[in-house]
A and B are shown apart, each in its own frame.
Chain A
């Protein structure tokens, strides 16, 4: 899992509540990514950030928001507009061609 911390490991929320997932890195990498993982679908890109104060939507950004105020931090907010938020969320950084992944947060919304 390298120098990437995701907390908490498991998160439970009621439907209709916003929830923020934490991602912190000490690898000094500029680029950071959020992925969602569902069984049988591989990883799908939610948002990415190439540099501080800049971020771009990925393939499935609807219902999610991010911020990148510091190089070390890239929090993801899952809003009540996300129709199927229950999933495993992975944060990653990139150096050149290689991505480094955090341990993930499993979010369950009931």
Chain B
């Protein structure tokens, strides 16, 4: 079975402070993991991805995430929040049971950045 849990539906941080968005997953296979960002009424943009290479993954706009197999986690972090980071973030797990890709999205975390 495949699932994704984003532990916080809303996160609020002050500008210039660190960001932590939490994601736990389950998969019966060796999954690929992704973080996407969505601004209001827009499509999803890929922030970063883990596909069984380095466990610490760096993405765009200063974001990074660490794949921890023992904790089944893939938390997204950024050292210093900018106002432009305010958006909704989705954690995604993907594997290929039986040769067909199955993709599961988390329910999203809305990030608010306070000036």
Contacts and interface: CB of A to CB of B under 8 A. Distances in A.
A99 interface: yes
Contact of B94 (A88, A97, A103): A97
A4 B43 CA distance: 10
A78 interface: no
Contact of B44 (A40, A44, A45, A90): A90
Interface of A: 1, 4, 6, 9, 31, 33, 35, 40-45, 50, 88, 90, 92, 94, 97-104, 106
Interface residues of B, dominant DSSP: strand
A98 B105 CA distance: 13
Interface string B60-99: 0000000000000000000000000000001010100000
Contacts, number: 52
A40 B9 contact: yes
Given A97-B32, A97-B94, A98-B49, A42 B43 contact: no
Contacts of A100: 46
Q: Which 9 A-B pairs have the closest CB atoms?
A: A101-B43, A42-B105, A97-B32, A42-B107, A101-B44, A43-B105, A103-B43, A104-B43, A1-B43
Of the four ranges (under 10, 10 to 19, 20 to 34, 35 or more), the interface on chain B belongs to 20 to 34
B91 to A, nearest CB: 9
Contact of A99 (B9, B51, B100, B103): B103
A79 B86 CA distance: 35
Contacts of B43: 1, 4, 6, 90, 101-104
